[in-house]
Amino acid sequence: MRHVAFMPGKMYKRLILCQLIFLGLDLASFTIAEEQFIYSGFSQANLSLDGTATITPEGLLQLTNGTFNLKGHALYPAPLQFRRHPTGDVQSFSLTFIFSILSAIPDKGADGMAFFISTNKSFSNALPAQYLGILNDQNNGNTSNHIFAVELDTIQNSEFQDISDNHVGININSLHSVQSRDAGFYDDKNGVFKNLTLVSRDVMQVWVEYDAGSTQIDVTLAPIKVAKPTRPLVSAIYNLSTVLPGTAYIGFSSATGVINSRYYVLGWSFSMGGTASGIDIRKLPKLPHVGPRPRSKVLKIIMPATIAASIFVAGALLVLLVRRKLAYTELREDWETEFGPNRFSYKDLFLATEGFKNKNLLGTGGFGKVYKGILPTNKLEVAVKRLSHESRQGTKEFITEIVSIGRLRHRNLVQLLGYCRRKGELLLVYDYMPNGSLDKYLYSEDKLSLDWNKRFHIIKGVASCLLYLHEECESVVIHRDIKASNVLLDSELNGRLGDFGLAKSYDHGSDPQTTRVVGTMGYLAPELVRTGKPSPLTDVFAFGTFLLEITCGQRPVKQNAQGDRFMLVDWVLEHWQKGSMVETIDKRLQGNCNINEACLVLKLGLLCSQPFARSRPSMNHVMLYLNGDMPLPEFTPTDTSLNMLALMENRGLDPSAIMLLHVKLICLLLLAGASLAACTAGDGNDDDHQFVYSGFTGSNLTLDGAAVITRTGLLELTNGTLRQKAHAIHPAPFRLRGGSSSSSTATATATATATATRSFSASFVFAILCPDADACGHGIVFFVAPANHSFSGAFPSQYIGLFNGSSDGDAGNHLVGVELDTDQNNEFRDIDGNHIGVDINSLTSINSTSAGYYDDNDGGNSGDHGFHNLTLASHGEAMQVWVDYNGTAKQITVAMAPLKMAKPSKPLLSSTYDLSTVFVADEPYMVGFSSATGSFNSRHYVLGWSFAMDGPAPAIDIDKLPKLPRFAPKHKPKMVEIIPPLATATFIVALGTVSVLLTRRRMRYTELREDWEVEFGPHRFSYKDLFRATDGFKSMNLVGVGGFGRVYKGVLQSSKLEIAVKRVSHDSKQGMKEFIAEVVSIGRLQHRNLVQLLGYCRRKGELLLVYEYMANGSLDKHLYSEGDKRVLDWDQRLQIIKGIASGLLYLHEEWEKVIVHRDIKTSNVLLDSEMNSRLGDFGLARLYDRGADPLTTHVVGTIGYLSPELGRSSKATPLTDIFAFGIFILEVTCG
């Protein structure tokens, strides 16, 4: 030790350096050890799983569970360092895994699995089926994916140029493999290649190796228990340094399509910079048994005992589950039904409407029928809208809009009280408006005429409502269908705006999305035709027409004695120019009106109806004009023309300006379209415009691909061969937009007609035969396409021989089709594997529904048509389809029915679409069929076909149709034992009888609960969710104390939404029920400057209220805190003051009742992430009916904000709130 103590300085430093070097080697070896692992079974593995991936109790990694169209992922939990230095190359690595694929159909799997290395561990946007759960149709092939994969693919997909449906491929950023080979291995004994079947249910092993020096990737495959072959199955030279960054995740992905398949990984080993360790085969878990197995005698004997034991175990589990849930037990009380958001039971609505009898029918429109009802619980009169089957094309989007808008609250809105979901139909429950719609009072001879004061009151009410929708809601809401028939009158003749079936909403400050033009003729703003974008100003245009309508008592489109039609706006404008505007006032008022007010409304209507959107006022200004708080701007009848002229002089002949100048002419041309089209249809030879085939013997169709005409006269599109496409086309093309005219004089009328698509009609009889009852692919499409269109580059399978991955969705296709699809494909958002769809330039249908028909003879006396399902792959049963396009109404309808049944009067599908936007003028078009197979043996037949221009298709002679070939689909083998033991049978029969009785009792009132209810509907939270969101209400999440309880910050696990949870303390017991009633009722308020109550929970004597979380806390902290709070500038303070003023105006005057806050102060004003002010803490608030006297109460509030009269009368009124608001203004201004 002494020698060391007196060691020279240099030697001592060297010794220390050596020790550090040795220590570094130890650390390096430790780090390398972390970059290798081995799993011989996964019982103790800590893998990161998502989708359908699970680890079974036996230790199997199960990637998919057999469910259709799903994906599963399993990843090593931590990222691995693939580069030792940021600028270095990717290291060598090696791995091996053992897998097995178990498919419900022998020799068929869907769709495969892959080992991958990726910089991203989230695959939420990836698609299942052919995309294997790692990519989608948008990012496939992008170099920014940074993904390397080895695929074990069991489906041949033409889109990715797969070599077979049983191959192994090396993939870089794409599912188009850089190298691939059919599955198999090279035997080391003789070098012979031996095939392997990936879906054979056998266990196999894969080895993947990357050599950094040569950049060679080797993939080897072999059966289990066979040593790794010397020669790899597939190799590729590819520098992974161009693909992978420093760190990346490794794992497995798998996906299913339309086949029930299960993918298992039994073992996995990986090593960075060396050879992966061998997997101990003896320790691997066993695969589950798949397929029928003979039942043993022992099983026959013990089965009854087993069932009894199962019942006992099930009961025990039930008890355990109940005990487990007791910790989260919640209560439901009467106040929830009375004050809270309501989901009605179907039984209550059925009883309320007396079974939806016709005598209670109020009207039809807006996606369904409306019935009057009286709720049996509280005798409240309601209106129940029952959605009809015609609304299928947009049911989910419609539900989203309606339920979201149903949360709005305003005294001039028809209130959505609740909803019900049952057996594919949606029922919406509204306030009942006893006086019906406004249009009946304006136009009906039976109704009493409204005097001017009532009309002016209705106008101001609807204007106040629109101001709320456009500027005061959380989102901008555009109604899109403002008209007199959508304004309902309550018992006091207050105007309520209703029917939000066409409404759209978007965030403040964002741009509204382009959408199809919807609404009512006469109320549509001109810019909607050009841009397709609804905005608050398009609502203002419709409101302007509404003002003229209610003042003049005339419809927006008028008709004179000669039958000519013209616009109400033009009529009023013409009278104004003549100085006789007073003559336009409704004659039924008999002069008993305030002339100044009426003229103000008429001029305001014209101002709102300006053709230029920028010339229209906002609803904020409209309210100021109506209330007399701002004079109407001076303008003359010629101002519009002057503005138009100035626009043309400054910008040249702008096409949009010219179109606006001639809005009236365009409307007249549209109204005359039907007669013009009829004149054109009469030109030419009718025989050239139609054909009919009752069988195809002797027909001269153009055929390609697998299509043939059989000896019996069948058009056989596919012959059962896998991955084929076929086309059959009528030899003569048609001119769909107009046609050749024999007249040498070209008129404006003929020119207009030639630009419109003519009406056409088609009918055909078809059959789809699939050998396997569980799988069929892919379908038939009747199409109309340009005569020079080529299908040579189209793919089979999901593209049905029409498009490929590049051309699908291209507007240059100019193709319209009706698909009969027997395969559900997520890429095209198919609704199911048995649907009809209308396709425009893409296989993503604009409208689709499940196959079926409406029976004209099934509907009783109600006029309804009973819907019956049909199966497209019906195994030998032919069906007939009718496709019609009405060129005047721009409507496509599709109907279908079993063969020998007449065409149903109610179509299966109906879509409004102007095909003139698809078809090119003066170009010839062909009509025909396309069909394709994928990985399944299917045959597609057409038995008869007819087509006609400008009229109904000729009838097909059913008796002359050829017969289909005899066909017997494969069935699954029967159970070896048909009859179980007598005791078991007795037990099952008894259990079944009880189940049937219970089911029949409840079936009449069966309801459904779906995802949209949680996402969009009023929410009652579970205590479990709130407990987890706040980490068990820990003190670290405590935001503050006050207003009857404590407030905690939380994050909902399901949506990651930040919330504030108020937990009402036991100290507030004295007024618990009244407090609950007040708060939950006030929670129905919707205004952008109020803190929003998102939901609630009731449990064991306590109430939990869930609010939006306000990231910037309360205003007082920004005014008085000396800490790190930033001082608010004046613009921010003024914006806060204006926001609170808007919120108070809503509480005092715009909601259904008068609400007095009673505690306005800076500490109760919260600031969101954008520093917008929100008034909160309604714990002291009171509400009362309009016109009623507020009740006397004890004085509450905060010293300094209490008005003097509270001490005398103890009556809280809006004026006491205004006193507090005045103090608040001084406080914010003075700091």
Q: How many CB atoms lie within 10 A of CB 33?
A: 9
- From the list 284, 246, 245, the residue with the least C-alpha distance to 61 is 284
Active site (annotated) includes residue 111: no
Task: Give me the amino acid identity at 139.
Answer: N
Query: Given 153, 162, 481, 1025, which residue is catalytic?
Result: 481
Q: How far is CA 813 from the centre of its chain?
A: 27
The angle at the Cα of 71, spanning 241 to 809, to the nearest 5 degrees, equals: 80
DSSP for 310-376 reads: HHHHHHHHHHHHHHHHGGG-----HHHHHHS-EE--HHHHHHHTTTT-GGGEEEEETTEEEEEEE-T
Burial 753-791 (b: 16+ CB within 10 A, else e): bbebbbbbbbbbbbbbbbbbebbbbbbbbbbbbbeeeeb
CB 932 within 8 A of CB 726: yes
CB 428 within 8 A of CB 385: yes
Torsion of CA 492, 493, 499, 505, to 10 degrees: -80
Residue with tokens 């008592």: 553
H/E run at residue 21: helix 9-34
Q: Using CA atoms, how far apart are residues 913 and 889, in angstroms rounded to an integer?
A: 9
**Helix orientation angle between 568-578 and 536-552, rounded to the nearest 10 degrees:** 60
**DSSP at 714:** -
Instruction: Tell me the β-bridge partners of 265.
Output: 61, 99
1062 known ligand binder:
yes
Q: Using CA atoms, how far apart are residues 40 and 54, in angstroms rounded to an integer?
A: 16
Q: Cα dist. 1197→139, 1107, 1206 in Å?
A: 59, 22, 10
Tokens linked to 159: 């889109």
Q: How many CB atoms lie within 10 A of CB 56?
A: 14
Q: Using CA atoms, how far apart are residues 590 and 792, in angstroms rounded to an integer?
A: 73
Residue with tokens 């003051």: 1137
Instruction: Tell me the β-bridge partners of 1060.
Output: 1049, 1107
Residue with tokens 């010629």: 638
Which residues neighbour 615 within 8 Å (Cβ) at sequence distance 6 or greater?
607, 640, 643
Q: Cα dist. 475→505, 506, 812, 1089, 1170 in Å?
A: 6, 6, 37, 12, 15
- From the list 763, 795, 799, the residue with the least C-alpha distance to 779 is 799
Which residues neighbour 386 within 8 Å (Cβ) at sequence distance 6 or greater?
356, 368, 369, 370, 371, 425, 427
Instruction: Tell me the β-bridge partners of 691.
Output: 947
Which residues neighbour 919 within 8 Å (Cβ) at sequence distance 6 or greater?
736, 737, 757, 784, 814, 816, 925
- From the list 713, 690, 692, 699, the residue with the least C-alpha distance to 961 is 713
Q: Cα dist. 427→164, 356, 397, 422 in Å?
A: 50, 11, 15, 8
Q: Binding-site residues for ATP, please?
A: 1062
Residue positions annotated with a catalytic role: 481
